Structures are given as C-alpha cells and as structure tokens.
Chains A and B, each alone.
Chain A
Amino acid sequence: MADVEERVKGIVVERLGVEETEVTREARFKEDLGADSLDVVELVMELEDEFDLEISDEDAEKIVTVADVVDYIQAQQ
C-alpha cells in the first residue's frame, strides 16, 4: 500500500517540480500543486508507464487529488 503511495509521490515531485512535503494525500494537482492540464496529461501517461496500466480519459478526468491517483491504482492492481 505505502509502496504505491511512495511511487506516486516520487513521480509527482519529479514531474511537477514541487517539494515532497507539499505532496500530501489531500493535495489537489491543479489548485495546490500548480499543474496545468498538460501536466496532468503527462502525469497520467507516466503513471500508465510506471504501473503498466491504462487510465481511460473518463477516469483521468476524475483525478483531482494525490489520493485519487493512489486509490485508483490500488483498485486496479
């Protein structure tokens, strides 16, 4: 469990160039972490690669916070 969260946070830190402490479960990508829509698309593609899964556009649209991503990936595995 913690493993998925760690890996997601690592990718978010690297992709968005934010501090690790900012990447809490509740943090919202756009509002809190300063991501634009292209950042979110890139993030989704990188998560797809990292976790070897496909995130549909429909599901991707529902992603708002870091927790959304972690829960989604855990549910898929």
Chain B
Amino acid sequence: MMSALAVPSADASAAPSAQAAKVVIEAVNVTKRFSESVIAVEGASFSVEKGSFVSLVGPSGCGKSTLLRLIAGLIPMTSGTLTVNGREVDAPRKDVGMMFQRPTLLEWRTAVENVLLPTEMTRKPTTDDKKRAIELLRMTGLKDFEFAFPRQLSGGMQQRVALARLLQTGAEILLLDEPFGALDEFTRERLNLELLRIVDEIRATTLFVTHNISEAIFLADRVMVMTPRPGRLAQIVDVPFRRPREISLLQSPEFNELVTEVRAILGAGA
C-alpha cells in the first residue's frame, strides 16, 4: 500500500463499480518544474471518472494548487500528458471551472452581477442567463442577498457567491482549491455538506483540494494523497462509504481507520 503510484492503471482495480465509468481527467506522468530546484509536481499519474468526487490532500507547499492549475490550463506543464474529456489541455476551457481559496469577487458588482461574469466572457447575458444566476444564488443559500455587494456579505457568503459563479460557467468539471479553507470550522462544515448536495444535483465531476485529512475523506469517493519535495502522488485511497454522507460518519470507527491510514501515508512521505 505504501508504494508510490506510477501508472494510471494501478487504481483501476479499486473502482467500486464493475461497469467501466467514463474517464474525464487522465494524467500520465505529469511533471511541473518552476526551476531546476523547484519541482512542484513530479510524475503524477491518475484518472478521474465522470461524476466522481476526488479529494487531493497533502501538506501545504506539496504542489496541490500547481496540479489544479495544470488541469485548468492556467500554466503549462513541463512534461507528461494531460487530457480532459479526451482532449489535451493547453489553455483554460469551457468544460473546466475553477474556484479558489479567496472568493475573488468584484466588489463593485452585486452578487448576481458577479455570478454573471463568466457568461459575459462569451455573450451579453440573456434572460435565461439572468434567471439561472438568480437560481444558482438561491441554490447556494443566498436567497435575499442577490443584490448585495461583496462588502455587505460575510466571508462564508462571499464564498457562496464564488461557488454560484463557478456553477454559472456551466463547467461539468469543477476544480476547487481549498474553497472553504479560510472560513471558520462551522461554516466550512456546512458549506462542505451543501457542496456535496449541489455537485450531486448537477452531476459534476469534482476535484477538491484540501490539507484537512478528514474533510478529504468525508467528501470524496477517492482520496489522492500527495507528499512534498518533490510533489508526488503517494497513493490513491478509495473511500467506501455510501452517499449521501451524514455528519455522523465522522464518528464511525471505519471513518477514523481511514483517517489513520491516510495520515500514515502522509507521515511516510514526509
């Protein structure tokens, strides 16, 4: 179980369902070096199935954000192959959306105007676009705050707007980089549960970055464990618990066993 994962096929046997699920993200030996000495990601190979929720967990600085940026097409990789929906990644694309730790809202725009930003990149928002934006704000729990400016919203609410904006892109692959990492424990827990409900509802494929082990396990079908210097995928762990997940899962012995297992992998890599 401790060996570094080298080939993408190694996790195929671990898939819970026997039917061959469609792979939407496929990475083979993806490497990113920023300089001779800084190798942020080295030889990462993995695949993400359509509709699945995959967590990427590891200590800070191990290359999680870099890996996500590579998949989003924001930065070029040094070597390897990376395909999304069967197409090589070379630039940001419509089918992939990204959300960051900071809400990055435009403070001169109301919540709904912020949500409409992705649409404006391609066209003048139509009636349907606007209806959809309002609907998404309600879905993310911001009914009655559609016309509030960011400074009128709490940190958690701002991140809800950012989530609605991400959903407005219509992307079916969601890359979330510690999306609730800057929020307090309670808010984060609640938003995590709502995120699960929402991605289920829209059948998105989700790659969720966190440095919190139990959060990673609680949310995901599969946890990719990453270790630093150089950033490597140490192991990919399947999470067997049924959906929808309940908060009580956090107390179960099976859950805690898995937390211990992941912690051991991280400890061995450090």
Q: Do A and B bind each other?
A: no
